[in-house]
């Protein structure tokens, strides 16, 4: 298919997106090769993919996506010329051609009718806005975590994905990794007795509101600083932001709590049978500890230290008759030892998205709901944001999961949302 890209204004882009659902009915003759009778996938089974903001983690995930049969990567968008060209070189080498197109503005890539799905791996500040625009443009979405910067963004994103009928998978891939699935099954299946607490590892919490010294902005074709900032508040350019934005409040979600918490609190929500809700109260309990409680009395503990040492991203589930702890190494420790079975040997590593990626594309084809869909991400991310708000305020907060607000607490409620810079208020 020949495509002549043109620059889209925001108004033209949204007009195109609004009309994406229109279909024309007409009789068609379908040749046998289109049905896959030659042994290849029929066109209807092929998925065309674009990428937005592909760097370290994004390049790693993209490598797995390129291995999925029937997936073809067509185009990359990045505000940095060096990243655009690096991804283009990788893809062109893979396919043995020069066909991968590049864009600076994500609206141009999303305006292409020949792209079915997108991989979004920008910095945190862009995830919700880019994913919402992609949904409105009729694209299915694999979005790296955390997918929101606030409670309100998490809710708005889930509602947008539902409204536009898109497949959405957030990159919390541990829902599709064997040892974590096994640990959750022990908790949910009653093998630990009555579940009492679920514990999630988090990074050390810190906020940084300082600005780096202003430097001359590069040409827009080299680095588009305005687009790099996107929905985040404006600040002057400094080249160090490009590779070291993490930990800076305008760019990082929840003082870093969501960096691991988007994974580990998500697993705890799953283990506690709490998908679709959140704890009802949160309280800081030390420098890097937040304790929470679900309505059924199960405790959620977010903490930075005192893990057994099974690798990164550990979680622990404790019941009245036993406990289990596991992490990215695939190793599991259980008590009592009678819980251990021969099946508790896993050669997977928690950072690998291979099964998560395959599930996403299968759901794109079948329109089934993936494991880490937008509604799952909504409540697990909101639980993290609530923990951050309690930590930031330095006191206990009570939360209403149904209304997604802090009853009678104006100070906490003001922290449910962040200002988004025009024109990215989606």
pLDDT tens by residue, 139-174: 999 999 999 999 999 999 999 999 999 999 999 999
198 has which bridge partners? 300, 317
What's residue 40's pLDDT?
A: 56
Return d(Cα 133, Cα 131) in angstroms, integer.
Answer: 5
What's residue 68's pLDDT?
A: 98
Give the pair of three-digit tokens for residue 357: 């990626």
* Per-residue pLDDT tens digits for 364-381: 999 999 999 999 999 999
Return d(Cα 238, Cα 244) in angstroms, integer.
Answer: 10
What's residue 372's pLDDT?
A: 98
Question: The whole model's pTM is what?
Answer: 0.90
What's residue 43's pLDDT?
A: 65
Please list the ranges in the chain whose pLDDT falls under 50. Answer: 1-39
Q: Taking the CB of residue 52, how many other CB atoms lie within 10 A of it?
A: 28
Give the pair of three-digit tokens for residue 213: 């010294």
**Which residues have a Cβ under 8 Å from the Cβ of 307 and sit 6 or more positions away?**
201, 314, 316, 325, 327
What's residue 263's pLDDT?
A: 98
**Which residues have a Cβ under 8 Å from the Cβ of 14 and sit 6 or more positions away?**
136
What's residue 31's pLDDT?
A: 38
What's residue 14's pLDDT?
A: 41
With contact defined as beta carbons under 8 Å apart, do 59 and 122 qualify?
Answer: no
CA-based end-to-end distance of the chain: 31
Domains of the chain: 43-173 (3.40.50.720), 174-206+253-350+374-416 (3.30.360.10)
**Which residues have a Cβ under 8 Å from the Cβ of 264 and sit 6 or more positions away?**
200, 201, 202, 302, 313, 314, 315
- What is the β-pairing status of strands 47-52 and 71-77? parallel
Helix or strand or coil: residue 198? strand
């Amino acid at each position: 298919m020949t495509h002549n890209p043109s620059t889209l204004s925001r108004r033209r882009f949204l007009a195109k997106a609004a009309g994406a659902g229109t279909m024309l009915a007409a009789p068609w003759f379908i040749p046998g090769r289109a049905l896959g009778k030659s042994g290849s996938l029929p066109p209807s089974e092929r998925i065309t993919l674009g990428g937005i903001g592909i760097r370290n983690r994004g390049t790693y995930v993209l490598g797995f996506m390129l291995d999925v049969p029937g997936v073809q990567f067509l185009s990359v968008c990045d505000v940095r010329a060096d990243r655009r060209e690096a991804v283009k070189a990788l893809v062109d080498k893979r396919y043995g051609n020069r066909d991968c197109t590049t864009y600076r503005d994500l609206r141009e890539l999303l305006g292409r009718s020949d792209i079915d799905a997108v991989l979004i791996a920008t910095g945190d500040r862009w995830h919700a806005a880019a994913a919402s625009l992609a949904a409105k443009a009729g694209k299915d979405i694999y979005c790296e975590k955390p997918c929101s910067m606030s409670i309100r963004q998490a809710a708005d994103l889930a509602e947008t994905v539902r409204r536009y009928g898109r497949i959405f998978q957030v990159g919390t891939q541990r829902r599709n990794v064997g040892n974590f699935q096994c640990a959750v099954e022990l908790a949910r299946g009653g093998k630990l007795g009555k579940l009492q607490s679920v514990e999630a590892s988090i990074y050390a919490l810190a906020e940084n509101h300082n600005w780096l010294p202003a430097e001359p902005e590069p040409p827009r074709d080299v680095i588009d600083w305005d687009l790099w900032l996107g929905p985040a508040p404006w600040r002057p350019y400094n080249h160090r932001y490009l590779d070291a934005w993490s930990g800076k409040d305008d760019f990082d979600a929840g003082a870093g709590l969501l960096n691991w918490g988007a994974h580990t609190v998500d697993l705890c929500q799953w283990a506690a049978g709490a998908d679709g809700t959140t704890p009802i109260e949160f309280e800081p309990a030390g420098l890097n500890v937040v304790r929470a409680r679900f309505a059924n009395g199960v405790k959620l503990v977010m903490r930075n230290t005192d893990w057994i040492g099974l690798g990164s991203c550990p979680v622990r589930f404790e019941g009245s008759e036993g406990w289990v702890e596991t992490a990215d190494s695939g190793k599991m420790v259980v008590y009592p030892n009678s819980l251990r079975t021969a099946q508790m040997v896993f050669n997977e590593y928690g950072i690998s998205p291979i099964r998560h990626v395959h599930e996403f594309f299968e759901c794109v084809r079948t329109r089934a709901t993936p494991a880490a869909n937008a509604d799952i991400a909504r409540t697990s991310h909101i639980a993290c944001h609530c923990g951050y708000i309690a930590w930031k305020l330095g006191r206990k907060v009570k939360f209403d999961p149904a209304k997604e607000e802090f009853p009678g607490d104006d100070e906490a409620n003001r922290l449910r949302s962040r200002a988004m810079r025009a024109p990215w208020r989606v």
